[in-house]
């Protein structure tokens, strides 16, 4: 299939590599052109504008930062709507708000193109190895057309609903569980450390008995080792953005996310302290400081 990937950040680069390896005809675009070179060396075509990238594409995947960046590439001059053909599919893998998904569905419908919400579960290493979980919501015929491309970077595909925003609701719900789990492990480790208990048996409890998912095991180990430096994971600025999206979505349905308030406060403190590019689980360091630990 003719596929365009817009955005080659930590997630987008891995997704694009998987699509290229699967044999699809790939075109890429990134705000920083230097990031195109790795894909070009594998045979992808690098476009100079978003419009050029999408003009012949059947499937366009956006992997960007937030609502504003996605809406910008869609609506801007020489952007997606200026180049997409009628019937082409835009699949957004970015974690965005359900409200943004509604707007994307509307503008594509009016243009004659098709919008599918396609957020993914997994970290950049899972993207690069084709082991993401894709949450898809949109017209059933569009999901059938999109699935062969999603399979290139996903070990599992979940058809959530026909209403695109519901895939974003599900992604925020999943991320809320991850954020809450990090907070719970953080509180438990701090309690144990201040009580004089070694943390390794607790980490083993999480990894062997309590949590089956690799992500929970990963965070139990990261918090134990306090291994948060460098890019390559899910950074704190992204985590803060997602938690605030969770609050916005919860406000719409008059729900309350109490643990999220703790997580947001600590993430905001971490970003303000210059930790924004560390793994988001490093808000454990803020909690340790509040508990009087070094």
Query: Which residues, in sequence order, are CB contacts of 212 under 8 Å at separation 6+?
Result: none
Residue 90, beta-bridge partner list: 60, 115
Q: Tell me whether strands 114-117 and 59-62 are parallel, antiparallel or unpaired.
A: unpaired
**Catalytic: which of 35, 171, 222, 241?**
171
Half-sphere exposure of 87 (CA within 13 A, CB side): 4
Query: Which residues, in sequence order, are CB contacts of 161 under 8 Å at separation 6+?
Result: 137, 167
Residue 171: active-site member: yes
Q: Tokens 């996903």: give the residue.
A: 154
Helix (H) or strand (E) holding 91: strand 89-92
Concatenating the DSSP letter of every residue in 243-292 gives HHHHHHHHHHTT---HHHHHHHHHHHHHHHTT-TTSBGGGHHHHHHHHTT
Helix then strand then coil, in percent of the chain rounded to 5, is: 55, 15, 30
The answer to whether the CB of 116 falls within 8 A of the CB of 38 is no
Query: Cα(106)–Cα(101) distance, rounded to whole angstroms?
Result: 9
Q: Tell me whether strands 132-137 and 120-121 are parallel, antiparallel or unpaired.
A: antiparallel
Concatenating the DSSP letter of every residue in 53-76 gives HHTT-SEEEE--SSHHHHHHHHHS
For residue 244, count other CB atoms closer than 10 A to its CB: 16
DSSP conformational letter for 79 = S
Residues labelled as active-site residues? 171
């Amino acid at each position: 299939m003719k596929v365009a990937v817009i955005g080659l950040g930590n997630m987008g680069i891995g997704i694009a590599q998987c699509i290229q390896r699967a044999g699809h005809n790939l075109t890429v675009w990134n705000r920083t052109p230097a990031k195109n070179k790795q894909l070009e060396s594998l045979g992808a075509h690098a476009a100079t504008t978003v419009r050029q990238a999408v003009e012949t594409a059947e499937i366009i995947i956006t992997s960007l930062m937030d609502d504003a960046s996605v809406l910008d590439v869609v609506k801007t001059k020489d952007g997606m709507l200026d180049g997409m053909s009628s019937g082409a599919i835009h699949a957004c893998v970015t974690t965005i708000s359900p409200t943004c998904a509604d707007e994307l569905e509307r503008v594509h419908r009016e243009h004659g193109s098709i919008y599918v919400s396609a957020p993914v579960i997994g970290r950049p290493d899972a993207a690069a190895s084709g082991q993401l979980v894709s949450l898809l919501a949109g017209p059933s015929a569009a999901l059938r057309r999109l699935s062969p491309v999603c399979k290139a970077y996903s070990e599992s595909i979940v058809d959530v609903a026909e209403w695109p925003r519901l895939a974003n609701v599900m992604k925020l719900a999943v991320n809320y569980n991850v954020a809450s789990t990090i907070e719970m492990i953080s509180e438990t480790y701090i309690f144990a450390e201040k009580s004089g208990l070694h943390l390794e048996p607790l980490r083993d409890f999480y990894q062997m008995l309590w949590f089956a998912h690799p992500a929970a095991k990963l965070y139990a180990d990261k918090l134990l080792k306090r291994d948060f430096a460098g890019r390559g994971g899910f950074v704190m600025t992204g985590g803060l953005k997602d938690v605030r999206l969770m609050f916005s979505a919860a406000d719409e349905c008059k729900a309350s996310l109490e643990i999220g308030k703790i997580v947001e406060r600590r993430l905001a403190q971490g970003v303000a302290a210059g930790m924004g590019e560390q793994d988001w689980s490093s808000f454990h360091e803020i909690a340790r400081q509040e508990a009087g630990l070094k």
